[in-house]
Amino acid sequence: MLNEKTVSHSVECGDCPIRHRAVCARCESDELERLEEIKYYRSFEAGQTVIWSGDRMDFVGSVVSGIATLTQTMEDGRTQMVGLLLPSDFVGRPGRDGSAYDVVATTDLVMCCFRKKPFEAMMERTPHIAHRLLEMTLDELDAAREWMLVLGRKTAREKIASLLTIIARRDASLNLRTPKGAMVFDLPLTREAMADYLGLTLETVSRQISALKRDGVISLQGKRHVTVPDFARLLEEAGDDSDGGLLA
Amino acid sequence: MLNEKTVSHSVECGDCPIRHRAVCARCESDELERLEEIKYYRSFEAGQTVIWSGDRMDFVGSVVSGIATLTQTMEDGRTQMVGLLLPSDFVGRPGRDGSAYDVVATTDLVMCCFRKKPFEAMMERTPHIAHRLLEMTLDELDAAREWMLVLGRKTAREKIASLLTIIARRDASLNLRTPKGAMVFDLPLTREAMADYLGLTLETVSRQISALKRDGVISLQGKRHVTVPDFARLLEEAGDDSDGGLLA
DNA sequence: AAATTTCTTTGACCCAGATCAAGTGCGCGA
DNA sequence: TCGCGCACTTGATCTGGGTCAAAGAAATTT
């Protein structure tokens, strides 16, 4: 595989940027030590495919930095993104050999990996890991269902606004800020990737972004750097109810 | 709540029709005994709402018989179904107080319920339950992602064919048959519910069903009873690749 | 059995978003 | 510095599925 690197210099779990959000979030220091023994890092460059759908997948892991996408493709080439993997998100499924989706790095990407067998064994012995993985999977399921509403019932404009709110929110939570008032962030996706996420064509994505810009909902510096002057306004455009949150 | 019944006569877990597929599938007989102590049954009539989105939910449970739907609704009334709950499917989320979705019985429904607190406590002590729940949640996540492709990229005709495929498959697996050749089953959903599942209008659903009938892909006895003379043909119409299955 | 309601079908027309087709502008290697 | 390629924008036109409207068919009530 072109340009992939297995980084050998060990990074301490204690210093890990995703320590408190990833699958290891609940682990005690002794559990962390055992994880540390079986973990290894892999890096991918923007555009590289991490795994192809159907391929054998002998590891699982967490996104440490960068962004990856999960996509499904039909024989005639129609593609739908089914997951957007941001730092701390988990990749792979314990108990299954192959990947059900294409996993692609859309930016430079660093993953913290575990060979599947040892990880599965560790999971058996470590309820903290199994429990955290269940929690994360339930969260992903909620996110997928939220996305089903977007795909099935929202207009193109609402879809774009919805995607922007998600990226803004996740960006804010990564930087420990609350999403409100003015926000600034980078779009980690091309227009085409956005289209694949939203079930649109890239032309429609481009037109709707231009429209949101024209209407003052967002402004752009370059093609990718977005300023949202009023986050509540963006939420309205997304068609979400004002609070937008599930109860704890 | 109108007409809901809490059935008191105890049904033995050993005789339960969903014994080998539900959240309790992996339990040993001693674990089953302890579950038996905290379980209770609830029945709902077709059309009844089990819980409203946002409502406090103090139980979790499994569908024993009948069918329920999970739906999300926007303020202006647009609704999207995000889950179709068939026998053995799990309802509710450990670790969350409220329901994120409306849960509605679309046929007469029997559920096997556990109060949330005791169930959560039991989960801590019983890895078999936690493990099975993780497995089921991962399956649901895969199903949700499959559905995202349907919603985002398939045509109306493909959407209908996809839904028929799913119902046929789950019906077959419930009756321990292999989905192939000729199949006969009942549609457990109204045209409107199908539309809500597929992100279509009920008129479009009706027209596409008529078209599939006209083209000999299916035939109908009454409005709800479907015969599929050639399952492979239906799969083709759904746009799925022929095998349609994920690797184990 | 007639009346009411609920579910479904079908027709006529319209529009949001797809498709087809030029361009624009920026970054990068030669 | 030029020119090539890629990501993006914008315009013109087309169309699948939505909307609006009417009416049949089943089930339920009176």
Model pLDDT, residue A40? 96
Each of the 248 residues of chain A gets a pLDDT tens digit; together they read 444 555 544 578 989 999 999 999 999 999 999 999 999 999 999 999 999 999 999 999 999 999 999 999 999 999 999 999 999 999 999 989 999 999 999 999 999 999 999 999 999 999 999 999 999 999 999 999 999 999 999 999 999 999 999 999 988 887 778 877 789 999 999 999 999 999 999 999 999 999 999 999 999 998 889 999 999 999 999 998 765 444 33
Note whether A97 contacts B140, CB cutoff 8 Å: no
Which residues on adjacent β-strands are paired with residue A51?
Answer: A103
Residues (138-197, chain A) with CB within 7 Å of strand C atoms: 155-157
Q: List the 120-179 stretch of A: residues with Cβ below 8 A of B.
A: 124, 127, 130-131, 133-135, 137-138, 140-142, 144-149, 151-153
Positions of E strands within A22-175: 39-44, 49-51, 59-65, 68-73, 79-85, 90-91, 102-105, 109-115
Ranges of chain B with pLDDT below 50: 1-3, 8-9, 244-248
Contact A247 B98 (CB under 8 A): yes
Of B124, B133, B138, the CB nearest to A93: B138
Cα torsion angle, A176, A177, A178, A179, sign: negative
Rounded distance in angstroms from the CA atom of residue B156 to the C1' atom of nucleotide C14: 18
- Summarised one tens digit per residue, pLDDT across range B183-215 is 999 999 999 999 999 999 999 999 999 999 999
Pairing assessment for the beta strands B102-105 and B219-221 based on DSSP bridges: unpaired
What would you report as the CA-atom Rg of chain B, rounded to the nearest whole angstrom? 19
Gyration radius (Cα) of chain A, Å: 19
In this prediction, residue B244 carries a pLDDT of: 45
Q: Quick check: B231 and B119 in contact, CB under 8 A?
A: no
Where are any strands of DSSP class E within chain B?
Answer: 5-7, 39-44, 49-51, 59-65, 68-73, 79-85, 90-91, 102-105, 109-115, 183-186, 219-221, 225-228
Cβ-contact A59, A92 below 8 angstroms: yes
Q: Which of A74, A148, A248 sits opposite B153 (nearest CB)?
A: A74
CA torsion sign, B148 to B153 to B156 to B158? negative
Query: Residue B206, CB, less than 7 Å from strand D?
Result: no
